[in-house]
């Protein structure tokens, strides 16, 4: 089985299209989305449509829920808040229905998906350090948990002796006795200094994880954000991936 797992599209249609196009060469069996389909970018409805059509499962992100009043908008910085209010005003009925239906956690025999952490899935904490990772490791009944939210791809590894490591690698061979928390990075708003879209592949037969990057038409996404009247800083950050 080959999973295509992606996160944090953030209403960036150009980035989402580039990622889905790149996935076409990867023989993906099942697509999964780790949330934040909307927020920041100018194409929320188009992105919801495409994600709905592509991903077997999408879990809720904080922007998804905030856009349909399921999470308080006061938790966001002023630019993000402005984008959420804009998104709320521009969502179609079908998009709203889809975002309202999203659950915070998904589990199957191979993996768990959660936007933030397993400790507080509906609070959207960030998986940024070994302490937070350790709590999620303790709550995992599978070997793999895929997360998003920070927009920075990276992998927490818990080995057999329960030691925790963090690695920012683009390829990893999985070991049976270790556990992994994999942040797949962001499709629509990377924050690791590389503006290219990030996306992940999990091959269950080969026991391998890949994090890949693909260029997209950033200029068009940039112009659309400005034309929509969204904060200029949101357009500028996708140029630099920061």
Which residues lie near Zn ion (CB under 5 A)?
8, 36
Shortest reach from residue 30's CB to Zn ion, in Å: 22
Shortest reach from residue 80's CB to Zn ion, in Å: 9
Shortest reach from residue 14's CB to Zn ion, in Å: 17
Measured from the CB atom, the residue of 151 and 213 that comes closer to Zn ion is: 151
Shortest reach from residue 237's CB to Zn ion, in Å: 12
Measured from the CB atom, the residue of 8 and 192 that comes closer to Zn ion is: 8
Shortest reach from residue 12's CB to Zn ion, in Å: 11
How far apart are alpha carbons 117 and 114 in whole angstroms?
Answer: 6
Measured from the CB atom, the residue of 33 and 218 that comes closer to Zn ion is: 33
How far apart are alpha carbons 94 and 140 in whole angstroms?
Answer: 33
Burial of residue 144 (CB within 10 Å: 0-12, 13-18, 19+) is buried
Shortest reach from residue 8's CB to Zn ion, in Å: 4
DSSP annotation string for 109-171? SS-EEESS-SSSTTTT----SHHHHHHHHHH-SSSEEEE-SSS--EEEEE-TT--EEEE--SE
How far apart are alpha carbons 117 and 123 in whole angstroms?
Answer: 8
Contact 68, 22 (CB under 8 A): no
How far apart are alpha carbons 141 and 151 in whole angstroms?
Answer: 25
Measured from the CB atom, the residue of 64 and 155 that comes closer to Zn ion is: 64
Give strand pairing partners of 6: 33
Measured from the CB atom, the residue of 14 and 36 that comes closer to Zn ion is: 36
**Contacting residues for 192 by C-beta, under 8 A, at least 6 apart:** 151, 152, 153, 168, 185, 241
Question: Judging by DSSP bridges, how do beta strands 154-158 and 179-183 pair with one another?
Answer: antiparallel
Q: Which residue's Cβ has the minimum distance to Zn ion?
A: 36
Measured from the CB atom, the residue of 4 and 61 that comes closer to Zn ion is: 61
């Amino acid at each position: 089985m080959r999973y295509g797992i992606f996160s944090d599209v953030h209403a960036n249609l150009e980035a989402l299209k580039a990622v889905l196009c790149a996935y076409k060469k990867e023989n993906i069996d099942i697509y999964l989305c780790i949330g934040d389909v909307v927020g920041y970018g100018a194409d929320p409805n188009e992105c919801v449509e495409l994600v709905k059509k592509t991903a077997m499962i999408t879990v809720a992100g904080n922007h998804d829920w905030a856009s349909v009043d399921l999470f308080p908008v006061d938790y966001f910085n002023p630019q993000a808040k402005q984008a959420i209010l804009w998104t709320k005003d521009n969502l179609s009925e079908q998009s709203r229905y889809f975002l309202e239906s999203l659950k915070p956690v998904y589990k199957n025999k191979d993996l768990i998906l959660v936007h933030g952490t397993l400790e507080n899935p509906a609070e959207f904490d960030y998986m940024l350090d070994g302490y937070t990772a350790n709590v999620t490791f303790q709550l995992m009944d599978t070997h793999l948990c895929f997360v998003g939210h920070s927009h920075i791809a990276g992998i927490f590894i818990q080995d057999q002796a329960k030691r925790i490591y963090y690695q920012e690698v683009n390829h990893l061979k999985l070991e049976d006795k270790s556990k992994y928390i994999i942040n797949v990075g962001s499709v629509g708003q990377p924050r690791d200094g590389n503006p290219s879209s990030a996306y992940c592949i999990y091959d269950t037969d080969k026991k391998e994880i890949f994090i890949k990057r693909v260029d997209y038409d950033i200029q068009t996404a940039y112009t659309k954000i400005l034309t929509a009247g969204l904060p200029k800083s949101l357009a500028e950050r996708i140029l630099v991936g920061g």
